[in-house]
Structure 1
Amino acid sequence: MISVDTAIKIVEDTIKPLPVKTIPFENALGFCLAEDMQSDIDMPPFNRSAMDGYAVIAEDTANAPVELTVIEDIAAGHMPTKKVSHGQASKIMTGAAVPAGADAVVKFEETEDLSVSNRVKILRPIDKGRNISSRGEDMQVGQKVLCKGMPVRSQEIGILATIGKSQVKVFSAPTVGIISTGDELVDVGLKPSVAQIRNSNGYSLAAQARRMHAEVDLLGIVKDTKEEISSMMQWGFRKDILILSGGVSMGEYDLVGDVMKDFNTRIYFEKVALRPGKPVIFGKKDTTFIFALPGNPVASFVTFELFVYPAIRKMMGFTHVHRTTLQASLETEILVKRKRREYRPAFLRMHNNTWMVSPVEWHGSADLLATTMANSLLIVREDAERLVTGQLVDVIPLE
């Protein structure tokens, strides 16, 4: 049995990024850039007004209030046609090009429209350069504006649109196959008998993977026989990642590990000093990475976050592959029962500019309902004996 840190490092060191593909930029949300991006334009492309107001020569306002002659109206999307000289001003809208000669923009609130002879009164002095965004101050032609390895979020989509990158190279998302094992399982459309339960793990794991933009195929439920597990796994070997839930403990019908070995799978680890989720297997068959996770729903959920999550992120080319860990003040005392690292479902909140966390009430690794009250995982280190109220603890936010 290996430590959690060792297991995570094995996964991270073993997985490599998938090939690059080119997609429309509007479909790149959530992916990782596979190339640097340079701007093909200056932004702003001209000296641009940051306000609705009047373009003036700042020197003319030194003895304000002062009256100026309005020589032109300039709307956004239209270039000015007249140069501003001393004693003159151009009415200008936000986003419009500042006319030649002008070196400041006075906002409407600091003026008075005289409504006679195209005159405007400037009510107070203004500094040179005020309310003008200079050409190229945001980005310049040839400037690297996005870097390989960056995640594509809504703001990166906006930059790609700004620089005209209608097609973008990103790292591919993995294909993921999911198999649920167990004689006790029935699908969601069926009413379970006394000895049965519905297959929640398959759909929960699929949701976790799809949230990361993986291409997921629910391969179905198999009985606890080597023949059925083996037959379904062969379909799973067509995927980049194959996830199995259940059948990984030490019981008579826990056959997944045996079947993996029958396929000559390279096994990297089989047990991790972890709660919940000690029986978890990570291996590789040809080009397919296999994660055999525990059958209890919370253990399945937690082990996905610890091991499958960084694997998918690494395949997608991200350099930061793990969820963020932060420190929070514990609101409830915790007595530690086992010397394995624990990841407890918890509720994280901000109070008086301080992160506060408390474990949710749960009845063990089968209690999936308790996780609906949680938004984080509270980490209880293996060397801890007791955690007291007010103590700082590590927490992994899940949202």
Structure 2
Amino acid sequence: MRAGEIGLLTSAGIARVRVYLKPKVGLLSTGDELVELGNKPRHGQLVNSNIYILTARLQELDCEPVPIGIGRDSHDSIVEMLRTGLKTDLLISTGGVSVGEKDYVHECLQSLGFIKKFCKVAIKPGKPVLFGTVGETPVFGLPGNPVSSAATFELFAKPALRLLAGYPDQSPQMVRAELTGAVTPGRKREAFLWGYLKQIVLDFFFTPASRQGSGQNRSIQGANALLPLPPDEEEWKPGRRVEVMLLYSST
């Protein structure tokens, strides 16, 4: 509730109302290549940026992030951390959901009674995404790449969190805008491009980030919208009217 709602309730003499609790969201990163912020990465290592990206995003969505830590590439390590994460309202893990030799997350979840709803989606970025439940706890397995993880969070985890938080509408807020730069759809998968939506007078304009792709972490810096691009289409030229997904809704 905001100040206006609280003022209306108090002026009507209402002291108690029923509300939804903020969802507690477990965050688990996986991979021997990850190091915590503050530690200098060695050759082949990466700072665990996913935990900070998702923590910040959850706080923006009025959720309570519960960092679990880094699960190392072993069955026992990941299972132990999954057990901890399953005590929250919803669990998000990043990494370990592809087809690599050390991608253990799906296997470890199955040992805990995981019921898979879907695995792999024909989108870019973010094809290796996993969703299911363990008991009554929803579990999302997102890609380890930060850009793919951020995109699949917006597309799949965010609607689930809105449902848990009691919002009547979980669908993304779409805005019609004019495209300011040319974009090329993919051949086989629906693509989602990061970009910047700006209102000028009564119209909206969408500018795609100059760098796209799973390895381009700068593409999400400052981005406030995603542009869905269906596969197998010709180049979209500047001036085209498009539907973009607003990431930061006023509601």
The TM tier, using the shorter chain, reads: over 0.9
Larger radius of gyration: 1
1:373 alignment partner, SS class: coil
1:162 maps to 2:47: no
Paired position in structure 1 for 2:69: 220
The DSSP-based 3-state class of the residue aligned with 2:110 is: helix
SS in 2 for 1:167: coil
Matches within 5 A, 1:329-368: 329-368=178-217
- CA RMSD across the alignment: 1.5
Q: Hey, what's the Cα distance between the residues in 1 that align with 2:7 and 2:187?
A: 49
Question: Cα offset for 1:320?
Answer: 1.1
Residue 370 of structure 1 corresponds to which residue in structure 2? Answer: 219
- Structure 1 residues 202 and 353: CA distance shift in structure 2, 3 A: same
Matching of residues 253-272 of structure 1 within 5 Å: 253-272=102-121
- Same amino acid, percent of matched pairs: 38
Tell me if structure 1 keeps the 8 A contact 2:193–2:212. no
Map 1:243-254; keep pairs closer than 5 Å: 243-254=92-103
Q: How many residues align?
A: 248
Contact persistence 1:173–1:312 (CA under 8 A):
no
One of 269, 272, 275 as aligned partner of 2:124: 275
Q: 5+ residue gaps in structure 2?
A: none
Q: Distance in 2 between matches of 1:370 and 1:388?
A: 20
CA displacement at 1:221 relative to structure 2: 0.6
**Matching residue of 1:46:** none
TM (norm. structure 1) is: 0.60
Q: Per-residue deviation at 1:205?
A: 1.0
Q: Does 1:289 align with 2:138?
A: yes
2:247 is matched with which residue? 398
Name the amino acid aligned to 1:213: D
- Tell me which residue corresponds to 1:181: 30
- Bigger drift between 286-295 and 167-176 goes to 167-176
State how far apart, in whole Å, the 1-side matches of 2:47 and 2:26 are.
Answer: 19
Give the Å deviation of 1:398.
1.9
CA drift of 1:357 comes to 0.8
Q: Secondary structure at the match of 1:169?
A: coil
In structure 1, give the amino acid aligned to 2:112: F
CA contact (8 A) 1:188 1:198 kept: yes
Q: Is 1:300 aligned with 2:152?
A: no
The residue that corresponds to 2:177 in the other structure is: 328
Residue 373 of structure 1 aligns with an amino acid whose one-letter code is G
Native 8 Å contact 1:277 1:303 kept in 2: yes
Mind listing any 5+ residue stretches in structure 1 that lack a counterpart? 1-28, 30-152
How big is the shift at 1:176? 1.0
